[in-house]
Amino acid sequence: MSENFFDLISSRHSVRSFKNDSIPEEKINTILDAATKAPSGGNLQSYQIFVVSNPSEKERLVDSAHGQGYIAEAPAVLVFCADPKRSATEYGERGENLFSIQDATIACAYAQMASHNLGFSSVWIGSFDEEKVSNILNISNNLKPVAILPIGIANETPEVTPRRPLEEVTQKI
């Protein structure tokens, strides 16, 4: 499925109900590959991506995300974690506290758009208990969970939400 970029970004909307259809591994790999194409500070790619498909682990992620049950419905859940220490090696404190988070966030955005381009739906989740997610993924203090991205075939028609007018979000100087 290929669309004009502007049509692609305009047609992507958050979905919170997924069909039970699995996603072929080659499609997951295509999505992950797209995420690695995202720009990153110093091209350090200071992030790690966890692919969660185990039903019991997805249920644990639901608990960590304040009961957002659609995490468990999605056949694949990507968890993006910043790697502050990796970024700090080149950029010190700013890399640790900002660039690594930006790197993980941009990678997640690329994965979300790649998913949509392939015909899958997703929802960006930022509301979760970082410590619980870290425990579920069995990660050290070196990584910081930034975003959870459930991916699958939509089982609902997504709500089209309005956007603020350009005049409200931009300033020309």
17-154: CATH topology: NADH Oxidase (3.40.109)
- Residue 140's pLDDT is 80
For residue 159, the model assigns a pLDDT of 85
pTM exceeds 0.85, yes or no:
yes
Low-confidence ranges of the chain (pLDDT < 70): 1-3
Which pLDDT value is given to residue 3? 55
Q: Where are the domains of the chain?
A: 17-154
Q: List Cβ<8 Å contacts ≥24 apart for 8-14.
A: 8/113, 8/116, 8/117, 9/113, 11/116, 12/112, 12/113, 12/116, 13/121, 13/158, 13/159, 13/160, 13/161, 14/122, 14/123, 14/124, 14/158, 14/159, 14/161
